[in-house]
Amino acid sequence: MEFSFIGKPAVRLDGKEKVTAAARYVDDLDFGANLLYAAVVESPHAYATIKSIDTSKAEKAPGVVKVITGKDFPYKFGMYMQDRYIFAQEKVRFVGEQVAAVIACDAISAERAAKLVKVNYDVLKPVLKVEEALTIEGCNHSTSEPILIHPELKNYEHVPWFFPRPESNIAHIRKIRTGDMDKGWAEADHIFTDTYTVPRYAHCAIEVHAAVGLYDFSGRLTLWTASQSPHTQRHLFAEALAPLGVAHKDVRVITPFVGGGFGGKAGVSMEILAAALATTVRGNPVKVLWNRAQEFYNTYQRQGVLAQIKVGVKNDGTIIALEQNLYWDAGAYVEYGANVVNAAGLSASGPYRIPNLKIDSYCVYTNLPPGGPYRGFGYSEFLFGLESHFAEIAKKLKIDQIEFRRKNCIIEGDRLAYGGKMNPNGLQEAIERVASEIKWGEEEKTTTKAHAKNIRTGKGISLFWKAPAMPPNASSSAFIKFNEDGSINILVSAMEIGQGFLTVMAQIAAEILSIPIEKIRVETPDTDRNPYEWQTVASHITWGTGSAVLKAAEDMREQIFCLIERALGKERKDLYLKAEGVRSHSDETFHLLYKDFVISGIPMEDGTFRGGPILGRGSFMPEYTSAKSNPETGQGGKPNVHYTVGAAGIVIEVDTDTGKVTIPKVVMAVDAGRVLNPDLVKGQITGGVLQGLATALYEDMRFDDKGRLLNPSFTDYKIPTTLDIPQEIVPVMLEVPGHDGPFGARGIGEHTMIPIAPMLANAIEDALGIRIKSLPLTAEKIALHFQLHSHKLIANDNHSSL
Q: Which residues are catalytic?
A: 750
Distance between CA atoms of 335 and 315, rounded to whole angstroms? 44
27 lies in the binding site for another protein (CB under 8 A): no
- Residues with Cβ within 8 Å of residue 686, at least 6 apart in sequence: 729, 731
Convert residues 689-708 into a mask of x (bound to another protein by CB under 8 A) and - (unbound).
Answer: --------xx---x------
In the set 179, 419, 720, 737, which binds another protein (CB under 8 A)? Answer: 720
- How many degrees, rounded to 5, is the angle at CA 532 between CA 507 and CA 231? 115
Distance between CA atoms of 302 and 717, rounded to whole angstroms? 14
Cβ neighbours of 797 (radius 10 Å): 10
Cβ–Cβ under 8 Å, residues 657 and 718: no
400 lies in the binding site for another protein (CB under 8 A): no
Report the site for another protein in 403-442 (rule: CB under 8 A): none
206 lies in the binding site for another protein (CB under 8 A): no
Distance between CA atoms of 577 and 352, rounded to whole angstroms? 45
In the set 518, 623, 728, 780, which binds another protein (CB under 8 A)? Answer: 780
In the complex, least distance from residue 795 CB atom to another protein, rounded to whole angstroms:
18
Contact range with another protein by CB under 8 A, out of 322-330, 678-686, 716-724, 748-756: 716-724
Q: For the chain, how far is it from start to end, CA to CA, in angstroms?
A: 72
CA proximity to 464, closest of 497, 489, 427: 427
In the complex, least distance from residue 360 CB atom to another protein, rounded to whole angstroms:
34
3-class SS at 193? Answer: strand
Cβ–Cβ under 8 Å, residues 360 and 395: no
C-alpha of 61 from chain center: 42
In the set 657, 727, 794, 797, which binds another protein (CB under 8 A)? Answer: 657
In the set 195, 318, 447, 711, which binds another protein (CB under 8 A)? Answer: 711
Distance between CA atoms of 657 and 779, rounded to whole angstroms? 10
Residue (381 or 655) nearer to another protein, CB: 655
Residue (176 or 663) nearer to another protein, CB: 663
Residue (295 or 671) nearer to another protein, CB: 295
Cβ neighbours of 413 (radius 10 Å): 9
In the complex, least distance from residue 775 CB atom to another protein, rounded to whole angstroms:
15
Cβ–Cβ under 8 Å, residues 254 and 211: no
Convert residues 658-677 into a mask of x (bound to another protein by CB under 8 A) and - (unbound).
Answer: x-x-----------------
715 lies in the binding site for another protein (CB under 8 A): yes
Strand ranges across the sheet with 581-584: 575-578, 581-584, 591-593
Distance between CA atoms of 466 and 382, rounded to whole angstroms? 12
723 lies in the binding site for another protein (CB under 8 A): yes
Q: Reduced to 3 DSSP states, what percent helix, strand and coil does the chain have, rounded to the nearest 5?
A: 30, 25, 45
Distance between CA atoms of 653 and 571, rounded to whole angstroms? 67
784 lies in the binding site for another protein (CB under 8 A): yes
3-class SS at 414? Answer: coil
Contact range with another protein by CB under 8 A, out of 75-83, 143-151, 531-539, 712-720: 712-720
Distance between CA atoms of 556 and 550, rounded to whole angstroms? 10
Distance between CA atoms of 276 and 234, rounded to whole angstroms? 13
35 lies in the binding site for another protein (CB under 8 A): no
In the set 710, 793, 794, 795, which binds another protein (CB under 8 A)? Answer: 710
Residue (497 or 782) nearer to another protein, CB: 782
In the set 29, 35, 107, 148, which binds another protein (CB under 8 A)? Answer: 107
In the set 187, 400, 414, 724, which binds another protein (CB under 8 A)? Answer: 724
716 lies in the binding site for another protein (CB under 8 A): yes
In the complex, least distance from residue 490 CB atom to another protein, rounded to whole angstroms:
38
In the complex, least distance from residue 457 CB atom to another protein, rounded to whole angstroms:
17
Residue type, 641: V
In the set 291, 436, 489, 630, which binds another protein (CB under 8 A)? Answer: 291
Q: Which residues pair with 365 in a beta bridge?
A: 331
Write the CA distances from 708 to 123, 142, 702, integer angstroms. Answer: 14, 22, 8
796 lies in the binding site for another protein (CB under 8 A): no
In the set 21, 33, 206, 450, which binds another protein (CB under 8 A)? Answer: 450
Number of continuous H segments (helices) and E segments (strands) in the chain: 17, 30
In the complex, least distance from residue 711 CB atom to another protein, rounded to whole angstroms:
6
Residue (111 or 565) nearer to another protein, CB: 111
Binding site for another protein (CB under 8 A): 107-108, 111-112, 115, 291-293, 450-451, 655, 657-658, 660, 697-698, 702, 710-711, 715-716, 718, 720-724, 778-780, 783-784, 787
